[in-house]
Amino acid sequence: MAELRWEPDEPRKLHQLCRPEAAAFKDLHLHRPPPPPPPVTMDTRAVKNPYPDYDGNSSQLFDAQGKLTPEFSQRLSRKVSELLSIMENGLKAADPRDCTMYTGWAGVALLYLHLHSVFQEESFLHRALDYVSHSLKCLTRRHDVTFLCGDSGPLAVAAVVYFRLQRPHEADECINRLLQFHQTVVQGSGGLPDELLYGRMGFLYSLVFINQQLGQDRIPLQYIQQISESVLASGEHLSRKFRFQNQSPLMYEWYQEQYVGAAHGLAGIYYFLMQPGFVAQPEHVHRLVKPSVDHVCRLKLASGNYPPCIGDDRDLLVHWCHGSPGIVYTLLQAHRAFGETQYLYDALQCGEVVWRWGLLKKGYGLCHGAAGNAYTFLALYRQTRDPRHLHRACMFADWCMNYGQHGCRTPDTPFSLFEGMAGTIYFLADILQPMKARFPAFEV
């Protein structure tokens, strides 16, 4: 490609516990048990941040308007090209049956669709078509209906690819197939949850994605509002069931746990319920959603981070899926929706958590890695225009450009969008236009 511009082990038997020379002594001398491992903390899960914080000088990275310098932009573009070649080679061994956005072919298609938007290079659009066509051949055809982990994601991306290729009949066919899931989602058939990865909100995002890409009236707003009303009714029911009404008018669970974060939990659901127009009656947003968001705020830990579940106060996870890097979007949206400065203050605290503990030993990916965590800073920058946040995003980009040099673990799907290299590439291209950057498959 041309250079781009822009449980304990089984108890051991006595002889296994004894020293080899024990038989020579009248008394048995057992080995002392090994010392317990150090407690798992955020510090043990992250690499110490080696970068200097913003000192008022950003001239080597971006100008006063937040436009990246040509030198930094070219470095990012070269790394995108380099990592794309590595990714393409690695994908030869990927699971041919995985059609999903999260770990499969649709995610790679979304990457190429994004690269087409950023670089305006036609070959990227045709590569997106190759991958999404593969994905359409292996749809789950089950109850998995979400953008990230079900059939609606591949269909939505395919619709946009066909639209850009000026193949409107095929685009319309994909959208019609997508909308066939709508009543199943509204009714919650098959015990469908409400969260983002596997639930109603994951389908709702597919509709939002279509409208973002093809125009706000392509999917009528009433389709989104009907899903939102079902999610509100479900949340009120579970709040009463768990007797949470005095703390939070809404409550949600996934596999009998009340998750807090963006992927499976409260924050991800509330983020969408606060979007303008997504709930037909604004009074419901103020009466139900706002006090429920306030309940999430009260769960904040001393560090400024958030627990993975209600009732689990371990301060461990600084991931988009669990912790501050996902909750920040909900706080920023609450600030936009309700205007209270406390939400912005809490969001800024999320930024401090990510700056200190966000370079994860898990790697460079979106769901639980440095690239996904970097979007925290881009979201904060867009809302505040404080160059400190763009500087921090650039430092995380530098970390990602040194991919593989930090001893991080290799993910199960090393070239996928949400676990692997494709997500890192997505971020490195996204930061080229900081004000347009959005966390993929989530941020509106």
Binding-site residues for Zn(2+) sit at 321, 367-368
Neighbours of 97 (CB within 10 A): 10
Which helix or strand (DSSP H or E) is residue 239 part of? helix 221-241
CA–CA gap between residue 321 and residue 149 (Å, rounded): 14
**Which residues sit in the known binding site?**
321, 367-368
DSSP 249: S
The phi, psi pair for 62, rounded to 5°, reads -160, 160
> Among all chains, which residue has been given the structure tokens 């406390």?
342
The phi, psi pair for 58, rounded to 5°, reads -125, 15
Neighbours of 173 (CB within 10 A): 15
Alpha helices in 46-167 (DSSP H): 70-90, 105-119, 122-136, 152-164
Read off the tokens for 257.
Answer: 């746990």
Q: Residue 405, exposed/middle/buried by CB under 10 A (0-12, 13-18, 19+)?
A: exposed
